[in-house]
Amino acid sequence: MIVTIDAVRKKCTEGRYFTYNSLQERLFVSVAIYIVWFCIRLGISGNTVSWLSALVAVLGAFLLTSENSLVVFIGSFGYILWYLLDFVDGAVARFNGKGGVSGQYADWIMHVIAHVAVVAGISIGAMNSVGSWIYPFAILGTVAACLAYAKFSMAWFAICMEQQQRRAKGLDVLIEKKEKTIAPTDWFGFKKYIRGLSIIIFHENFLILSLPVIAAFEFFHEFEFVDLRVIFTVAAGGLYLPVQILEIGRMISLKKVENGYKELFSENHIPNLPNDHFLK
């Protein structure tokens, strides 16, 4: 039986919870569907695509460490290729009828691998460029990249642990009303401005597109007196990390994790996704 592009497009959208609404998503999906078709024809599984996507990102990160601007420019496309393949793995799994929790887990792990690898690759490139004074920013920036995902994953780990501990003790699942909290003062416009700036610079949705542009500027020597990887690394350590720490502090002070637990096990709560995923 010959698998057609139209058949792949139709079947891969069946059962998908989230729709592709943004211009960016629609652009990548229109290209990804052909890769999905290719993988299906070759018998490549969704999990295999997930691992390949991480490998592409890591290889790109290695190239970002180079002192050759052309190599850096080529490496800058590793992240965008990972992003493209991120639309492929789930579609392949749905077509093969093998979607599930394990696939979701593998998919999200690749987000962590790709993001941390790219930030680390840029940081190592900056260290090669200017020397040891930037080491602290490189370390702090890499920690920030880890926290960007760990702050949510560890929150859900804590939620699961609480439920497991209660069941092990023979207790009922804790069902209580959400705790009322007072939002802390938004000092210096953190939530509106500082956090927003951090998202524009470091979030994968923006970085996949800005990274090749930055690398192109470097390749054409538009900024002869400064390596833009250095600016990025300083911003990662000086801005990205403080934002992640403040975000974790807000999650704790606003009892986002406790309320997330109560909502998850409440019979009356209707899931609001993806906001519930990220404890908003």
Q: Give me the amino acid identity at 103.
A: G
C-alpha to C-alpha distances, 140 to 63, 116, 150, 214, 234, nearest whole angstrom: 21, 12, 15, 21, 9
Considering the domain boundaries, does residue 277 fall inside one?
A: no
C-alpha to C-alpha distances, 103 to 46, 107, 109, 124, nearest whole angstrom: 8, 6, 10, 31
In this predicted structure, what is the pLDDT of residue 63? 97
Considering the domain boundaries, does residue 209 fall inside one?
A: yes
Computed on alpha carbons and rounded to an integer, the radius of gyration of the chain in Å comes to 21
C-alpha to C-alpha distances, 38 to 13, 42, 89, 104, 271, nearest whole angstrom: 17, 6, 12, 21, 35
Considering the domain boundaries, does residue 274 fall inside one?
A: no
In this predicted structure, what is the pLDDT of residue 15? 66
Q: How far from chain centre, in Å, is Cα 226? A: 28
Considering the domain boundaries, does residue 275 fall inside one?
A: no
Tens of each residue's pLDDT in the chain, 280 residues: 678 888 888 877 776 777 777 777 778 888 999 999 999 989 999 999 999 999 999 999 999 999 999 999 999 999 999 999 999 998 898 888 888 888 889 999 999 999 999 999 999 999 999 999 999 999 999 999 999 999 999 999 999 999 999 889 888 887 666 666 666 666 666 777 888 899 999 999 999 999 999 899 888 776 667 888 999 999 999 999 999 999 998 899 889 998 999 888 888 888 888 889 999 8
CATH number at residue 11: 1.20.120.1760
Distance CA 20, CA 188 (A): 34
**Number of domains making up the chain:** 1
C-alpha to C-alpha distances, 263 to 18, 45, 49, 156, 170, nearest whole angstrom: 20, 34, 34, 12, 21
Distance CA 52, CA 101 (A): 19
Considering the domain boundaries, does residue 271 fall inside one?
A: no
Domain enclosing residue 51, as ranges: 5-264
15-23 LR contacts (CB < 8 Å, sep 24+):
15/94, 15/99, 16/90, 16/94, 17/273, 18/273, 18/274
- Around Cβ 230, how many Cβ atoms within 10 Å? 20
- Around Cβ 39, how many Cβ atoms within 10 Å? 23
Distance CA 250, CA 255 (A): 8
- This prediction's pTM: 0.90
Distance CA 184, CA 205 (A): 28
Considering the domain boundaries, does residue 114 fall inside one?
A: yes
Distance CA 128, CA 83 (A): 27
C-beta of residue 27 within 8 angstroms of C-beta of residue 87: no
Considering the domain boundaries, does residue 136 fall inside one?
A: yes
Considering the domain boundaries, does residue 272 fall inside one?
A: no
